[in-house]
Amino acid sequence: MPSRHQRALDRHAETFVLDVPREGDGGSVVADSRLDLGAAFGRQAPVVLEIGSGAGDCVVAAARQHPELDFLAMEVWRPGLAQTISKAVHAGVENIRLVEADAAQALPLLIGPDELSEVWIFFPDPWPKKKHHKRRLVTPEFAQVVANVLEPQGVLRLATDWEEYAWQMLEVVNGSDQFANLYGAGDGFAPRFEGRVETRFERRGNRADRPVRDLAAQLTLK
């Protein structure tokens, strides 16, 4: 990674990156590794989780705009974590914490029931080849994981520029008995979420003439 990002990681990781126990050399998060979010942020406030935060554009902008909220980001790409730290320091925001982890494996271990107000999954890896669709993150099984960690009336927000994946996401939301599609009266897709800043993934989709679709679903059952 660029030296400036490595410096940001070296200087500020202790502040922003949460240390979680792992199996082996940087492997999966071990069981019983529950995070204490109140201790991590030093206060009690609603927590928004962004899964796959990339270079941190969205989560840093949101943290700057909403100092009353806390933002947790899960990302497996270390250079992305470093860029997020660099942007957070530059923006002067302190209400962000990062976890280097695969959310599919780590989320049910690290976060307890009812601890999150929202979960954001923007532009997850589409795994476009049919034989790889099983690797996609947004599935009925993962929707259940999200439902378990959201507080009552919590919100799941999704976005993708891959049409076929968008319809799969819509099926997951509409097929869940724990989520209500907040825009189910129309075609099911939501207007562009105003809290989602444009990232390179969205720009890439626009250049390829792939329309971006948003979804928003609210937890209805606990």
Residue 215 to residue 122: CA distance in whole angstroms = 10
Residue 117 to residue 47: CA distance in whole angstroms = 6
Q: Is 125 a catalytic residue?
A: yes
Find the catalytic residue in 32, 125, 209, 214. Answer: 125
Lay out the sheet containing 116-122: strands in order across: 96-100, 70-75, 47-51, 116-122, 150-160, 213-219, 179-181
Residue 63 to residue 72: CA distance in whole angstroms = 10
Relative to beta strand 47-51, strand 116-122 is: parallel
Residue 137 to residue 91: CA distance in whole angstroms = 30
What are the beta bridge partners of residue 75?
A: 100
Give me the amino acid identity at 196.
R
Active site residues: 125
